[in-house]
Chain A
Amino acid sequence: MYLEYFVLGSCALLLLSFPIMFSAMFKKLDAAERYLQYSSYIVGCRHTFRNAPFQGRPQRVYAMATVILIPKVIQWRGMVLVEDVEKIPRHLKYWMVIPTFVTCLSLFGLIISWFFIDDWP
Chain B
Amino acid sequence: MKKFMPVEELARDERFNQITQADRMADGRNALIADSEKSRRSNRLTPARPDASEAARALMHGIFVGEIQALEGAGRTCWDFTTGEEAPFELKLDMARQAWDEARHVEISLKLSDWMGSEIGQYAENTVLFQAACSNDPVLRLAGVNRALEGLAIDVFTTMKEFGEIAGDPYLEFCEDWMLADEVTHVKMGSDWLRKITENDPERRKKALEFQGIVDKMFSYGGSRSDSEESSFAIARRFRELAGFSEDENDHIADLGMQALNERKAQLREKQAAAAN
Q: Do A and B bind each other?
A: no
On B, residues with C-beta under 8 Å from A are none
